[in-house]
Chain A
């Protein structure tokens, strides 16, 4: 067993567990968006950020991927962590002001829409990649993928048309946290 601390309190976990695993096991609240127990962690949303002091330096890491180590000191709500989290939620909220899950997160962190908020977007995809990972890891096909990069990055099927690999199972729609996949599904499934 590996012993370390979260918010000043000692916890134990097994080799190979992440900070998030231990936190969830012990009922410590860390928000997530792109994390799902059924698929491999991806590390895109960064909401699960925590601050880790490993004795040499203190830095912000993401708890869904950081493997626990003996003696580390984890802070789940330090000022640096909250700054990261607040900004992520702010940016997401401005992208899709109506998404229920984001609205709820914003409420809990006291974030309100800024002057940069987009209008007319109900179900913006946040590229959390749960659909892509589910399609590949759970369903076992690769009908969906990320296309492009940067601001043009998108979830799509090859050539943006019906995918011949798609089974039409709808797992991607089920797992989508924003509802964006519902709109894309008919195109992918054909």
Chain B
């Protein structure tokens, strides 16, 4: 999605020009574009009267923001304590191997999947769990993780 002035305007008009709204406004931009396009970030900072350096500090400090486009499907593997003691790390590594993601977290080259870690989704009774887009997948094993990817690849 390209950054259109119109779609940004809808977000900006929700916020009076005060630096306090920086995080909320950026959250809206992130939700809209699935990442923070540079032009949008600059526009938000200008509108709120915040130096761009502060926008950058906030955008890179909080994990909720991404400066690069994310994949079509978002896979968040829980590595909370309960998931950890029930083998969540092995499941995570399985995803990483199958998706061929070099770093700890990342997006596949075809922009189909983004893989990331999350610390506790609060579904500890079904540990280990992952959240694929909106859906929680519980009691995962490496095998189930493999099946899951196959299923989403077909979608």
Complex A–B touching at CB under 8 A: yes
**Cβ-based interface call for B52 (8 A):** yes
**Cβ-based interface call for B55 (8 A):** yes
Can you sample 17 A-B contacts with CB below 8 Å?
A: A142-B51, A145-B56, A147-B56, A147-B57, A148-B61, A149-B60, A156-B56, A157-B53, A157-B56, A158-B53, A158-B55, A159-B38, A159-B56, A163-B52, A164-B52, A165-B51, A165-B52
**Cβ-based interface call for B54 (8 A):** yes
User: B52, A147: Cβ atoms under 8 Å?
Assistant: no
Contact of A143 (CB < 8 Å), options: B38, B53, B57? B53
Number of residues from A at the complex interface, CB < 8 A? 16
Closest-CB distance, A66 to chain B (whole angstroms): 26
Report the bound CA distance from A143 to B38 in whole Å: 17
Write the chain A residue with the least CB distance to B50. A142
What B residues does A165 contact at CB under 8 A?
51-53
Closest-CB distance, A99 to chain B (whole angstroms): 25
Of A145, A157, A163, chain B has the most CB atoms within 10 Å of the CB of: A145
User: B51, A146: Cβ atoms under 8 Å?
Assistant: no
Write the chain A residue with the least CB distance to B52. A158
User: B60, A148: Cβ atoms under 8 Å?
Assistant: yes
Write the chain A residue with the least CB distance to B53. A145
Report the bound CA distance from A149 to B57 in whole Å: 9
Of A144, A147, A157, chain B has the most CB atoms within 10 Å of the CB of: A147
Write the chain B residue with the least CB distance to A145. B53
Q: Which of B109-149 contact A (CB under 8 A)?
A: none
